[in-house]
Structure 1
Amino acid sequence: MSFSVKTKNELAQIISHKKCCQLAELAALFRMDGTIQISAYQKISLAVITENAAVARKIFKLTKERFGIQTEILVHKKNRLKKNNVYSIRIPPQPQVANVLRLLGFVDGENNWVMNYQKSFPSELVRDVCCKKAYLRGAFLGGGSVNNPEGTYHLEIISNNKDHAEIIADLMHDFHLPAKISRRKNWYVVYLKESDQIVNCLNVLGAHQALLDFENTRIMKEMRNQVNRLVNCETANLNKTVDAAVRQIEAINLIEATTGLNKLSPALKQVAELRLAYPDLSLKELGETATPKIGKSGISHRMRKLEMIADRLKEHNK
């Protein structure tokens, strides 16, 4: 089960006891995945389609509790791809449908159709903070997804209407979530890409278990990344130490074969003999083996002198 599905399953268990929040969440779900059907006899029915069983149960329960009208669930399998179950929560034609349409903002007070209901969004549905959260929760359940934090950080809600996408983004901005909108074929994608933003969004939606799982995974991921950076840094330093030691030993061997180490000053001879005796030590460790001890800068200075002598010998022998 994907992280996104787990998150939706958790959100599907949240049933607000406030009627205003129930209505806001249903309004979002109907706007995301709903259809209005008008028969030849002007009979009107509503339906919401989802592939998530938990979301279907929630829509059914909210519709029954908020509107108290006959509601049914139809199930069929997809003919293509994964052949998942598809759930259609349907409000069949009945006298109360007109009131439902009005409450959801599809018709005005005089039962006239709101032709562009996205631009004429009923702001009274999201007047309170709790209702804004409920609407965003419904929008996510209807068209949202969130990546597993093991991979790239990404949360999105897609809509087929630009105005509705802007409404969703504005609601997220009310919670200091800097959502952006992009176009993907015929869809408008409201998205967040920073891990902190996604954590805050999950908190706003009410997905607290998903938030904890996200945070735990993120912490482990960042710890692994830090360990990898430290290992890479240590490896790079080790490689530099080895390369420097090889270069120093080659210089000392050239001096020994050409003029002999006895021709060196006592200080340089001491460091040369130490390097030959301890080829694997770092400069700091090499200085600590000397008697008396020599600092890293002192060892480094003498090594540079030995390499300069070797370079002059190379030039002289050409």
Structure 2
Amino acid sequence: MAMTAAVKDELSRVPVTRPSARKAELATMLRFAGALHLVGGHIVIEAELDTGSVARRLRKEIADIFGHGSEVQIVAGGGLRKGSSRYLVRVTKDGERLARQAGLVDLRGRPVKGLPHHVVAGGVADAEAAWRGAFLAHGSLTEPGRSCSLEITCPSPEAALALVGVGRRLGVASKAREVRGGDRVLVRDGDAIHALLTRLGAHESVIDWEERRMRREVRATANRLANFDDANLRRSARAAVAAGARVQRALEILGDDAPDHLLQAGRLRIEHTQASLEELGALSDPVMTKDAVAGRIRRLLALADKRAQDLGIPDTESAVTPEMLAP
């Protein structure tokens, strides 16, 4: 919610000079946040918004572009929206005229189901303005992570499909979905969200969002590496315990009847069951490489297994229990 509020606050301050783009943004805001009501035979337009800055931008654009006055009413949050106020912008006088000017109704006075024709057929600047208006009206942005998304709640399936079509002119990979009984347009790819927010004019929010995204990726990478290292350590420890058990059995089979240098390596393995081969080499006198230690232990085990075979007794592998190899 914090990211959404920050983006809407920044977008509500983006200057737009092109007349067609201003009309496209206004029309889309009214379409996605508004509703047409028939009161006493006259059309009344109401637009419900979640921030005061967006409500002020909408009222200013209605007055500057079409010359209509409007009023705003603060609605206290209740139910699921408890604690969060809503802002209801209402145009009662000349509501029908504004609806026609904004393209909310067609020439016969019927409500438009998708987006007004001048928005759908507009240029790139108009497409950017339409997406800006849709986000200001009913957009949300989740924190960057595995399921990051930019989402627009739409008033109808036709409006969702129209917004997806407008997005194609911007190169935005968005999809229309029905979620929990409502129509929504979703952008899930992190790079696509970055590009879209930049085109809409939310430059400061993009920097903040990218920093959070980078921190999340670095944290996830660090966790993966830590888990990988931890798994390797556990695997190495199990292998060392199993090797120690085999060496113990080898010494029982051979007794002192083995070369001294092999016996020395075997005793080091038993005395330091959790140590790595490299650590065993550092503990030996004289110091050996891990390959030398491994070679001596391997020859000790082979010698003991051959003796066990000759005597018909269990070999060194018999000392390794399933518990030693369990994860």
Alignment TM-score, normalising by the size of structure 1: 0.85
Which whole-Å deviations, capped at 9, do the CAs of 1:156-212 have from their partners, x for residues lacking one?
A: 112131111011112223222221222124311211222222222222222222211
Once the two structures are TM-superposed, the CA of residue 215 in structure 1 deviates from its matched residue by 0.9
Q: Given residue 199 of structure 2, which amino acid in structure 1 is its aligned partner? A: V
State the alpha-carbon separation in 1 of the partners of residues 151 and 304 from structure 2.
64
**Change over 3 Å in CA distance of 1:255–1:8 after alignment to 2:** same
CA contact (8 A) 1:71 1:91 kept: yes
Which SS does the other structure have where 2:89 is aligned?
A: strand
Correspondence for 2:321: none
Which SS does the other structure have where 1:263 is aligned?
A: coil
CA contact (8 A) 2:282 2:289 kept: yes
**Which of 197, 203, 208 is matched with 1:202 structurally?**
197
Once the two structures are TM-superposed, the CA of residue 302 in structure 1 deviates from its matched residue by 4.5
Correspondence for 1:39: 39
The two structures, once aligned, show a CA RMSD in angstroms of: 2.8
**Which of 155, 165, 170 is matched with 2:165 structurally?**
170
CA contact (8 A) 1:75 1:87 kept: yes
Q: How does 1:236-251 map to 2 (within 5 A)?
A: 236-251=231-246
Alignment TM-score, normalising by the size of structure 2: 0.83
CA contact (8 A) 1:248 1:307 kept: no
Q: Given residue 113 of structure 1, which amino acid in structure 2 is its aligned partner? A: G
CA contact (8 A) 1:71 1:92 kept: yes
Which is worse superposed, 269-278 or 128-137?
269-278
Once the two structures are TM-superposed, the CA of residue 311 in structure 1 deviates from its matched residue by 6.2
Correspondence for 2:73: 74
**Change over 3 Å in CA distance of 1:107–1:235 after alignment to 2:** closer
Q: Given residue 112 of structure 1, which amino acid in structure 2 is its aligned partner? A: R
**Which of 290, 309, 316 is matched with 2:313 structurally?**
316
Pair 1:220 & 2:219 matched: no
Which is worse superposed, 202-211 or 299-308?
299-308
Pair 1:182 & 2:177 matched: yes
**Change over 3 Å in CA distance of 1:178–1:124 after alignment to 2:** closer
Q: Given residue 108 of structure 2, which amino acid in structure 1 is its aligned partner? A: N
Which whole-Å deviations, capped at 9, do the CAs of 1:31-63 have from their partners, x for residues lacking one?
A: 1121223333x4333221113212111111111
Correspondence for 1:229: 224
Once the two structures are TM-superposed, the CA of residue 19 in structure 1 deviates from its matched residue by 1.8
Pair 1:269 & 2:259 matched: no
**Change over 3 Å in CA distance of 1:276–1:79 after alignment to 2:** closer
Q: Which runs of 5+ in 2 are unaligned?
A: 319-327
Correspondence for 2:103: 105
Q: Which runs of 5+ in 1 are unaligned?
A: none
CA contact (8 A) 1:4 1:148 kept: no
Pair 1:254 & 2:249 matched: yes
Q: Given residue 280 of structure 2, which amino acid in structure 1 is its aligned partner? A: L
Which whole-Å deviations, capped at 9, do the CAs of 1:89-127 have from their partners, x for residues lacking one?
A: 122223xx555333311344xx42245442x74145652
**Change over 3 Å in CA distance of 1:153–1:273 after alignment to 2:** same
State the alpha-carbon separation in 2 of the partners of residues 226 and 157 from structure 1.
31
Pair 1:51 & 2:45 matched: no
Q: How does 1:77-96 map to 2 (within 5 A)?
A: 77-81=76-80, 82=82, 84-94=84-94
Correspondence for 1:26: 26
Aligned residues: percent identity?
Answer: 25
Q: Given residue 145 of structure 1, which amino acid in structure 2 is its aligned partner? A: S
Which SS does the other structure have where 2:196 is aligned?
A: helix
State the alpha-carbon separation in 2 of the partners of residues 255 and 230 from structure 1.
37
Which is worse superposed, 186-195 or 161-170?
186-195
Q: Given residue 198 of structure 1, which amino acid in structure 2 is its aligned partner? A: I
Which whole-Å deviations, capped at 9, do the CAs of 1:264-295 have from their partners, x for residues lacking one?
A: 34563343244245444322443466657445
Correspondence for 1:5: 5
CA contact (8 A) 2:141 2:150 kept: yes
State the alpha-carbon separation in 2 of the partners of residues 66 and 121 from structure 1.
16
Size of the aligned set, in residue pairs, is: 310
